[in-house]
């Protein structure tokens, strides 16, 4: 039941849950209250207050049990050099929105960051008003992005419909560019290095060892930028979102354009290593305003991952048995007690996060049968935040989610 409520706490719009016991679920999330109907098999739960990532939950097996939640974790640690001093809700405003909402898009982003809006785009699609470079196309900011999406979608796919190595690299590139921002750095006058394109605009940043494996996709985004003349920061985040939705079962993460590019290399020390402690990883993400719960949702990107440089003698081994599909096998195959499938390479950090008290419950929830839509929602919410780190003109962005390819919710 606590897992069900944890899921509710990271799912936009969720206010109530029903948990069918005594077996492990299923867990039904609800965005509205219904008439109570006594049922001994069903446990109900209700979230009170604003969303918080770390829920303190009590529940009993009676319908409409009330579960209060509060931010109880400060991601602090005494066992490593990484002591986080502030608690991280995962719902704070960032960038210029801290100074106020001044536009409709700013209002939408603000609601997304607070977890009140669905972070997945569910519109019916888009038809370009004219050919690329036509006046009609140029008069619609998102038009050019529809051509980029149409270009990237087949490029990110295998002939059997699974997503390929370019998609994997693009997803990772989106993370590595945005992750170069942190709140403590910003407070200390280094408010740069987030989703600003610097990973592909600064040779110094691109050449750092933590970015090993990204050289080819960096060359590709440079090529695409030349071809389309769009901003690099936007291109990297848009490509990451096209890649995710290209993967079968992948989420259609809401996408914004209008970021400001920078060729200043991001501050160092902000990209996690597979050999970092969970204290350090949770702290690193907390410093990016991402909660432990949101970190857990983002880690699922390793569902489509392969490693080449952690152990070069096992180059190409994936982190779950289905690296071409955006499924929850990664969570299931890393969950506490699970045996490592042959042919899978597990990172120490992934195993540690699967077992850490601050992430284990959420991890296990994502491993449950039927949790795909819940993970997709959690990933989308966390990725929207990640993709906007260090962006200080959020009120001036344009939403282009509607030009993304449609999600494929079944496969094959």
Does residue 329 interact with ligand HEM by CB under 6 A?
no
Do 189 and 141 touch, CB atoms closer than 8 A? Answer: no
Which candidate, 326, 18, 363, places its Cα nearest to that of 157?
Answer: 326
Whichever of 69 and 358 has its CB closer to ligand HEM, that residue is 358
Strands 317-318 and 27-30: unpaired
Does residue 171 interact with ligand HEM by CB under 6 A?
yes
CA gap 296, 98 in Å, rounded: 26
Q: Of the listed pieces 24-32, 199-207, 229-237, 294-302, which binds ligand HEM according to CB under 6 A?
A: 294-302
Whichever of 152 and 301 has its CB closer to ligand HEM, that residue is 301
CA gap 317, 333 in Å, rounded: 14
Q: With the C-alpha atoms ordered 248, 250, 256, 257, is the resulting torsion angle positive or negative? A: negative
Does residue 107 interact with ligand HEM by CB under 6 A?
no
Residues taking part in catalysis: 176
Q: Please confirm whether the linkage preceding 279 is cis (ω < 30° from 0).
A: no
Give the containing element (helix H, strand E) for 405. none
Q: Which of 252, 254, 288, 302 binds ligand HEM (CB under 6 A)?
A: 302
320 is in an annotated binding site: yes
Does residue 280 interact with ligand HEM by CB under 6 A?
no
DSSP per-residue string spanning 309-334: SSSGGGTTEESSS-TTS--THHHHHH
Does residue 360 interact with ligand HEM by CB under 6 A?
no
311 is in an annotated binding site: no
Does residue 307 interact with ligand HEM by CB under 6 A?
yes
Which candidate, 275, 282, 298, 270, places its Cα nearest to that of 346?
Answer: 275
Judged by CB under 6 A, the chain residues 199 through 218 that form the site for ligand HEM are 213
Does residue 305 interact with ligand HEM by CB under 6 A?
yes
Which candidate, 360, 309, 372, 307, places its Cα nearest to that of 334?
Answer: 360
Q: Of the listed pieces 113-121, 134-142, 166-174, 355-363, which binds ligand HEM according to CB under 6 A?
A: 166-174
Does residue 281 interact with ligand HEM by CB under 6 A?
yes
Whichever of 34 and 308 has its CB closer to ligand HEM, that residue is 308
Whichever of 63 and 271 has its CB closer to ligand HEM, that residue is 271
Residue 107 CB, nearest distance to ligand HEM (Å)? Answer: 26
CA gap 212, 205 in Å, rounded: 11
Q: Which of 36, 308, 370, 406 binds ligand HEM (CB under 6 A)?
A: 308
Number of other residues whose CB lies within 10 A of the CB of residue 61: 14
CA gap 196, 78 in Å, rounded: 34
Q: Which of 53, 73, 333, 349 binds ligand HEM (CB under 6 A)?
A: 349
CA gap 82, 77 in Å, rounded: 7
How many residues does the structure list for the chain? 412
Whichever of 14 and 281 has its CB closer to ligand HEM, that residue is 281
Q: Which of 3, 6, 55, 172 binds ligand HEM (CB under 6 A)?
A: 172
Q: Of the listed pieces 17-25, 58-66, 305-313, 399-407, which binds ligand HEM according to CB under 6 A?
A: 305-313
Convert residues 254-273 into a mask of x (bound to ligand HEM by CB under 6 A) and - (unbound). Answer: ------------------xx
Does residue 298 interact with ligand HEM by CB under 6 A?
yes
Contacts of 78 (CB under 8 A, 6+ apart): none
**How many residues of this chain bind ligand HEM (CB under 6 A)?**
23
Q: Which residues pair with 120 in a beta bridge?
A: 253
- Residues forming contacts to ligand HEM in the complex (CB under 6 A) are 165, 168-169, 171-172, 175, 213, 272-274, 281, 298-299, 301-302, 304-310, 349
């Amino acid at each position: 039941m606590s897992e069900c409520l944890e899921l509710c706490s990271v799912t936009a719009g969720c206010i109530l849950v029903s948990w069918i016991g005594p077996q492990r679920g299923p867990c039904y999330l609800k965005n509205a209250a219904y008439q109570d109907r006594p049922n001994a098999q069903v446990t109900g739960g209700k979230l009170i207050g604003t969303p918080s990532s770390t829920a303190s939950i009590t529940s009993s097996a009676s319908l409409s049990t009330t579960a209060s939640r509060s931010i109880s974790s400060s991601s602090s640690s005494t066992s490593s050099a990484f002591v986080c001093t502030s608690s991280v809700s995962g719902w704070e405003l960032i960038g210029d929105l801290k100074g106020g909402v001044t536009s409709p898009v700013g209002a939408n982003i603000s609601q997304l960051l607070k977890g009140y809006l669905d972070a997945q785009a569910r519109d019916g699609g888009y038809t370009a008003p004219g050919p690329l470079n036509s006046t009609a196309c140029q008069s619609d900011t998102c038009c050019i992005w529809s051509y980029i999406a149409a270009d990237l979608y087949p490029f990110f796919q295998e002939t059997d419909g699974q997503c390929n190595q370019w998609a994997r690299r693009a997803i990772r590139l989106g993370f590595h560019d945005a992750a170069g921002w942190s709140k403590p750095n910003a407070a200390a006058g280094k408010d740069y290095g987030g989703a600003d394109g610097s990973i592909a605009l600064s040779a110094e940043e691109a050449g750092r060892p933590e970015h090993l494996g990204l050289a080819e996709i960096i060359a590709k985004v440079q090529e695409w930028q030349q071809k389309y003349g769009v901003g690099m920061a936007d291109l990297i985040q848009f490509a990451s979102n096209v890649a995710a939705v290209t993967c079968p079962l992948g989420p259609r993460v809401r996408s914004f354009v209008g970021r400001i590019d920078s060729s200043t290399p991001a501050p160092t020390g902000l990209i996690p290593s597979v050999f970092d402690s969970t204290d350090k990883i949770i702290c690193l993400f907390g410093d990016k305003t991402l909660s432990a719960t949101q970190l857990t949702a983002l880690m699922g990107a390793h569902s489509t991952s392969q490693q080449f440089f952690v152990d070069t003698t096992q180059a190409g081994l994936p982190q779950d048995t289905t690296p071409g599909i955006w499924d929850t096998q990664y969570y299931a195959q890393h969950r506490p007690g699970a045996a490592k499938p042959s042919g899978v390479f597990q990172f120490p950090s992934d195993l540690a996060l699967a077992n850490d008290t601050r992430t284990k419950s959420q991890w296990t929830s994502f491993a449950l049968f039927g949790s795909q839509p819940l993970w997709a929602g959690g990933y989308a919410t966390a990725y929207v935040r990640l993709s906007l780190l260090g962006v200080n003109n959020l009120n001036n962005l344009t939403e282009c989610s509607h030009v993304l390819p449609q999600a494929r919710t079944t496969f094959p």
